Amino acid sequence: MFFIRDGIQFPDVVHALKPNPKTNIQEYWRILDYMSHLPESLLTWCWMFDDVGIPQDYRHMEGFGVHTYTLIAKSGKVLFVKFHWKPTCGIKNLTDEEAKVVGGANHSHATKDLHDAIASGNYPEWKLFIQTMDPADEDKFDFDPLDVTKIWPEDILPLQPVGRLVLNRTIDNFFNETEQLAFNPGLVVPGIYYSDDKLLQCRIFAYGDTQRHRLGPNYLQLPVNAPKCAHHNNHHEGFMNFMHRDEEVRLSTPLELPLLVFLLGIKILIWFVLFTDQLLPLKV
């Protein structure tokens, strides 16, 4: 779950979390002052200050898709879905006192733990579970299933095992394979689609926007971000474009512009016929 349910609140969340603009010191009063105006953030706060608030390391941590996505079967059947990753070595957390010692001794302790585990052949594994819901049932619960400040109760919508993820090798170069990596909740594979979850709708465009700025317009062609299978898209040109194309057709044909102008003309005509009488008084 998350603090807010609408992406437009995100800039304010970030400003509340940032340090004091005068002293550059991060202060709890600013965070809590803002969050106190958002009662829907309470569930996330409860998790943060509960025993699960400080994970021991990455291997003992759960992962969540957070948002409601949809699964689309070949037959066309659609289901709402939530994704959950559960570590097979269990969930472990630190108390505030333990965190001071562990983090104080090595601020990269979680990265080191992950790296050392993989290097020694103790490969971390997560099981993938899904919760599904028929979209026809969206209004049948006492909470909004598309609201990210809520979780779907597992006794009503049980976790179903569907797969696993094993980290069995480390990267060769941090800059190439991590710094230039671009995760984006808007990039989905066939069979998975979005939902009307308002926060997801904002994230769908926010990440790509920032990644085009951070890495350049063709960042999806970088080896770490490109699909490994044969693929095609309708992106053209842009800086650092190294996708080989030998086709002679582009999407926007020379016919498109006149067609657009024609359709726009018809729209303006209809609008004029419908609304002239309302405009006339303005002329007086």
Binding site for ligand HEM (CB under 6 A): 2, 7, 10, 66, 148, 182-183, 199, 202-203, 206-207, 210-211, 214
- The smaller minimum CB distance to ligand HEM, of residues 182 and 192, is found at 182
Nearest approach in angstroms of CB 240 to ligand HEM is 17
- The smaller minimum CB distance to ligand HEM, of residues 183 and 239, is found at 183
Contacts of 38-47 with CB under 8 Å at 24 or more apart are 38/3, 38/4, 38/9, 40/3, 40/4, 40/5, 40/147, 40/149, 41/3, 41/4, 41/149, 43/1, 43/149, 43/150, 43/151, 44/1, 44/2, 44/3, 44/149, 45/3, 47/1
- The smaller minimum CB distance to ligand HEM, of residues 240 and 269, is found at 240
- The smaller minimum CB distance to ligand HEM, of residues 8 and 279, is found at 8
Nearest approach in angstroms of CB 214 to ligand HEM is 5
User: Is 193:77 a contact under the CB 8 Å cutoff?
Assistant: no
Cα–Cα distance measured from residue 200 to residue 10, given in angstroms and rounded to the nearest whole number: 12
Nearest approach in angstroms of CB 13 to ligand HEM is 8
Nearest approach in angstroms of CB 84 to ligand HEM is 14
Alpha-carbon torsion, ordered 65, 68, 71, 72, to 10 deg:
-140
User: Is 59:89 a contact under the CB 8 Å cutoff?
Assistant: yes
- The smaller minimum CB distance to ligand HEM, of residues 59 and 67, is found at 67
Nearest approach in angstroms of CB 232 to ligand HEM is 24
Within 10 angstroms of residue 159's Cβ, the number of other Cβ atoms is 15
- The smaller minimum CB distance to ligand HEM, of residues 173 and 252, is found at 173
Nearest approach in angstroms of CB 15 to ligand HEM is 13
Nearest approach in angstroms of CB 203 to ligand HEM is 5
- The smaller minimum CB distance to ligand HEM, of residues 91 and 259, is found at 91
